[in-house]
């Protein structure tokens, strides 16, 4: 399921790179880090809406929760070591 979410995010947010983890290993709770140049200049709420909107059906069917962090490429380069990358 992590790989499916990753592919959905990357195909729906132009230029995005997504890292999707499943910390509880239960198939329902996920965490995602999404990096995209399209987030530049957008408020955090709009960034999250760009990611969440295409995942709406997955939440109805199988995903219970998604912890989400979004970054522009420049910001990601500044903070990625904090996330183990």
> Along the 85 residues of the chain, how does pLDDT read in single tens digits?
789 899 999 999 999 999 999 999 888 889 999 999 999 999 999 999 999 998 887 777 777 789 999 999 999 999 999 999 9
Q: Classify residue 19 as left (phi > 0), alpha (psi -120 to 50) or beta.
A: beta
pTM above 0.85, yes or no: yes
> In 1-85, where does DSSP find H-type helix?
2-12, 44-52, 56-61, 73-79
The Cα 15–Cα 81 span in angstroms is 21
Give φ, ψ of 38 to 5 degrees.
-70, -10
pLDDT at residue 20, rounded to an integer: 95
The Cα 12–Cα 4 span in angstroms is 12
Regarding beta strands 29-35 and 17-21, do their DSSP bridges make them parallel or antiparallel, or are they unpaired?
A: antiparallel
- The CATH code of the domain at 2-77 is 3.30.300.90
Contact status, residue 34 vs residue 9, Cβ threshold 8 Å: yes
């Amino acid at each position: 399921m992590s790989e499916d979410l990753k592919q959905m995010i990357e195909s729906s947010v132009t230029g995005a790179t997504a890292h999707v983890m499943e910390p509880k290993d239960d198939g329902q709770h996920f965490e995602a880090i999404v990096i995209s140049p399209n987030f530049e200049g957008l408020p955090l709420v709009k960034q999250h809406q760009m990611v969440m909107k295409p995942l709406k059906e997955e939440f109805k069917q199988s995903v219970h929760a998604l912890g989400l962090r979004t970054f522009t490429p420049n910001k990601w380069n500044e903070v990625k070591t904090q996330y183990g990358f």
